Amino acid sequence: MDKRILLDIKNLFVWYKVFGGYFKVLNGVNLVVKEGERVGLVGEAGCGKTTTMKSILRILPPGDFKIPEGEIFYKGKDILRMNSKEVQNLRSREIAMIFQDPTAALNPVFTIGSQLGDVVRHADIFKGSRHQKEIKDNSIKALKEVYLPDPERMLVNYPFQLSGGMRQRVCIAMSISSPRNLLIADEPGTSLDVTIQDQIHRLLNEIVDKRNTAIILITHSLGVAREMTDRIYVMYAGTIVEVATPEILFKNPVHPYTKGLLASVPKISGGGIANGIPGKLPNYLNPPSGCRFQPRCECVNPTCIEKPPQLYEIEKNHLVACHLTQR
Amino acid sequence: MEQTKNNKILIIEKLKKYFNIGKGKQGFIYVRAVDEVNIDINYGETLGLVGESGSGKSTIAYTVVGMYHPTSGKIIFKGENIGKEASKRRLSSKKEIQIVFQDPGSSLNPKQTIEQILSLPYKIHTNLNKKQYQEKIIELLEKVELSPEYLYKLPPSIGGGEKQMVAIARALAPNPSLVVLDEPTSALDVSVQAKIINKLIDLQREMNLTYLFITHDLSLMRNVANRIAIMYLGKICEVAEAITFFEKPLHPYTQMLISSVPVISEEEEHLKPKKVISIGEIPSPVNIPSGCSFHLRCPYKKDVCSKIDPEMIEVSPGHMVRCHLFYS
């Protein structure tokens, strides 16, 4: 417990404006990242993982959202109350994000060199004092660090000349071209093949170890989270339902949603697959009262419909938000 | 037909599919998507065809259903060579082979109701009148656990899992014997995937279906397929029963694939072969490397690998591998 807290999301609500009201997507998210820690955020499509991450960097679609409640502290400072200059600073020097689809993250009409050079230039505290050559050297160094072959030639290439795995490596190079304290990786391997995904994950692990950077890994695959992280947050419909270390979570899942999710994952040791979780994600326009998982839960009782459960500790390093286990 | 081939529903012999992508200095340039592939499928089994993107697994699927005309080779379905485009096939053989696509969002017409979508196969393949096939459609929806109220809905208004169920229902409407499943669950979440996979297994038992299941997810195959074939750059490199496949993977590429699968328990961790570190990427099918196409990424590479392309050999009954390491 001696590590300092780097990022602390407290009771965050994010609503999107749509025709006929608000999509109440995030519903009181709490998330803590300590320095140098690897945190996994696991959940199915549409559960609000990416929304959470986008609100950290303040890159939610402008004008379409509303944050009625919540705070995001980064090194003790509330990101949601920063002015634009401070946010700019945060994005260029403190937090970097790796997106899911490297094809969409890179601009197709600029070379890798010019895009990477931009990042390097903006990360420089003494803006403009650097020579072109220094920027180029730094870009090459970053490309070497992600094991891209022939980095000099890579600088004059366009994104379409690279394969998906190489593009993702370029994106990672961008995020590590200057020292950062927090990396946010939004499903970095999902659009790639398993063998390439494995390479990308090994690379990320190596970078995080070497530089002692904290990382938030967003993924929908429990297997990836198990192999990559120190602590896993399981998310469902905009709420964190369970937090635990991988050892505890995979041996002793408590929340019915986590249990259902774990049972649905096909295993290479065989034994068939459980029948999934009945129902589907709630409509965010009119989310269910009380616990958001209640309409799909098999062991629902009256309290579940009345009030939403809060996260509380059931054992060391294991938090659950469920009325069933609360005594 | 020979006696030994009697239990095979589909035999693919030396299938080749090249795509012409333009003219270069030395004549036409081809993408060799499928190159001399031999596979066979028994009645009532599920054959898993696994490979990375660009390995040609979908091309095989599309050639089997007749969306592509094979460059050469034979596709023998129930003793008849159907290696031609769908427009040149007999209607009765088209009826027997159906396909479910990866993305239900784009394989269903968003402007047609579910009823319209599901009535087309009946209009083409049966002589039923409207009233009769409407009853059949309701029966069909029941089979995939959708209530009759879905009849008048449009695909964009229903969830991804339900859309895929409609696509499966459409494939089952003409009462086929072989269903080609082209990554039917890779666009869906695990909890939805589980439901669909279990439904598919039930339907197979109920309707005596044979599946050609195409996917990139090995752990899913372990739970669904009877036999697994691994594809790499247009060629099959290993075929085995699902159980032996995970207990005794032979081809270095198979070992690399299995060791790359993220797993969720200790028990599975032990099943993984000694870590074969994944290096390199799948080369372009335009410039296939000489010799064994995998030799650039192979950790056990020998001199012969870059010169001679290995032949498929049978190491134990039903377990075939195409690698120089197993030549005795």
A54-106 residue pLDDT tens:
999 998 888 888 899 899 999 989 999 999 889 988 888 889 999 888 888 99
- Measure the CA–CA gap between B273 and B271, rounded to whole angstroms: 6
- Within 8 A of A220 by CB-CB distance, chain B residues are 189-190
- ipTM score for this prediction: 0.83
| Under 8 Å between Cβ of A184 and A214 | no
Is B284 within a domain?
A: no
Ordered per-residue pLDDT tens for chain B, 328 residues: 444 456 889 999 999 999 988 887 888 888 888 988 999 999 999 999 998 888 888 899 999 998 999 999 999 998 888 888 888 888 888 899 999 998 888 999 999 999 999 999 999 998 989 999 999 999 999 999 899 999 999 999 888 889 999 999 999 999 999 999 999 988 888 888 999 999 999 999 999 999 999 998 888 999 999 999 999 999 999 999 998 888 888 999 999 988 888 888 888 888 887 767 778 888 888 888 888 889 888 888 888 888 889 989 999 888 999 999 888 6
Nearest CA distance, B196 vs chain A (angstrom)? 9
A5-25 residue pLDDT tens:
999 999 999 999 888 888 899
- Within 8 A of A266 by CB-CB distance, chain B residues are 194, 197, 217, 219-220, 222-224
Alpha helices in A146-265, H assignment, sequence order: 151-155, 164-176, 194-211, 222-228, 246-251, 256-264
DSSP symbol at B262: -
Is A283 within a domain?
A: no
Show the domain range for A186.
Answer: 5-236
Interface probe, candidates B164, B217, B264, chain A, greatest A C-beta count within 10 A: B264
3-state helix/strand/coil string of B284-327 = CCCCCCCCCCCCCCCCCCCHHHHCCCCCCEEEECCEEECCHHHC
User: B52–A165: do the CB atoms touch at under 8 Å?
Assistant: no
Q: Tell me the pLDDT of chain A averaged across its residues.
A: 88
| Under 8 Å between Cβ of A293 and B246 | no
Q: Which long-range contacts (CB under 8 A, 24 or more apart) does A71-80 make?
A: A71/A8, A71/A9, A71/A10, A71/A11, A71/A12, A72/A7, A72/A8, A72/A9, A72/A10, A72/A12, A73/A5, A73/A7, A73/A8, A73/A9, A73/A10, A74/A6, A74/A7, A74/A8, A74/A182, A75/A6, A80/A55
Is A210 within a domain?
A: yes
Alpha helices in chain B, H assignment, sequence order: 57-65, 91-96, 104-107, 114-125, 130-143, 160-172, 190-207, 218-224, 242-247, 252-260, 266-271
Is A198 within a domain?
A: yes
Considering only alpha carbons, which residue of chain B is nearest residue A258?
A: B191
- Within 8 A of A221 by CB-CB distance, chain B residues are 190, 262
Is B304 within a domain?
A: no
DSSP symbol at A93: I
- Measure the CA–CA gap between B195 and A243, rounded to whole angstroms: 26
Q: Is A74 exposed, middle or buried (0-12, 13-18, 19+ CB in 10 A)?
A: buried
Placement of tokens 């060791």 in the chain: B259
Show the domain range for B24.
Answer: 3-253
Is A295 within a domain?
A: no
- Measure the CA–CA gap between B286 and A127, rounded to whole angstroms: 45
Is B309 within a domain?
A: no
Number of folded domains in chain A? 1
C-alpha distances in Å from residue A308, one per residue of A214, A304, A320, A323: 31, 7, 12, 8
- Within 8 A of B216 by CB-CB distance, chain A residues are 193-194
User: B271–A45: do the CB atoms touch at under 8 Å?
Assistant: no
Residue A214, domain CATH: 3.40.50.300
Q: In the predicted model, what is the mean pLDDT of residues A241-268?
A: 91
First-to-last CA distance in chain A? 27
A21-41 residue pLDDT tens:
888 999 999 999 999 899 999
Is B283 within a domain?
A: no
Is B272 within a domain?
A: no
Interface probe, candidates B263, B269, B275, B286, chain A, greatest A C-beta count within 10 A: B263
Integer-rounded Cα Rg, in Å, for chain B is 21
pTM over 0.90: no
- Measure the CA–CA gap between B277 and A196, rounded to whole angstroms: 11
From the list A196, A222, A276, the residue facing B195 with the nearest CB is A276
Q: What pLDDT does residue B206 have?
A: 92
User: B278–A195: do the CB atoms touch at under 8 Å?
Assistant: yes
- Residue A295 corresponds to which tokens in the numbers above? 């309409």
- Measure the CA–CA gap between A29 and A209, rounded to whole angstroms: 27
From the list A44, A163, A223, the residue facing B263 with the nearest CB is A223
DSSP codes joined into one string, A59-85 = -SPTTSEEEEEEEEEETTEEGGG--HH
User: A275–B282: do the CB atoms touch at under 8 Å?
Assistant: no
Categorize the per-residue pLDDT at A297 as very low, low, confident or very high, splitting at 50, 70 and 90: confident
> Could you give the strand order of the β-sheet that contains B80-81, starting from the edge strand earlier in sequence?
B27-42, B8-24, B72-77, B80-81
The residue ranking higher by pLDDT, B278 or A302, is A302
Nearest CA distance, B183 vs chain A (angstrom)? 14
Please determine, for residue A299, whether its predicted confidence score (pLDDT) is greater than 90: no
Dihedral, CA atoms, B228, B232, B235, B237, nearest 10 degrees?
-50
DSSP codes joined into one string, B205-216 = HHHT-EEEEEES
| Under 8 Å between Cβ of B264 and A265 | yes
Please determine, for residue A315, whether its predicted confidence score (pLDDT) is greater than 60: yes
DSSP symbol at A309: -
- Residue B178 corresponds to which tokens in the numbers above? 């072989």
Q: Is A20 exposed, middle or buried (0-12, 13-18, 19+ CB in 10 A)?
A: exposed
Residue B183, domain CATH: 3.40.50.300
Is B278 within a domain?
A: no
Considering only alpha carbons, which residue of chain A is nearest residue B271?
A: A269
- Within 8 A of A165 by CB-CB distance, chain B residues are 281
Number of folded domains in chain B? 1
From the list B52, B259, B267, the residue facing A269 with the nearest CB is B267
From the list A226, A267, A277, the residue facing B219 with the nearest CB is A267
User: A261–B242: do the CB atoms touch at under 8 Å?
Assistant: no
Q: In the predicted model, what is the mean pLDDT of residues A105-124?
A: 88
Buried residues in A186-215 as b, exposed as e (16+ CB within 10 A): bbbbebbbbbbbbbbbbbbbebbeeeebbb
Q: In the predicted model, what is the mean pLDDT of residues A282-298?
A: 88
Is A23 within a domain?
A: yes
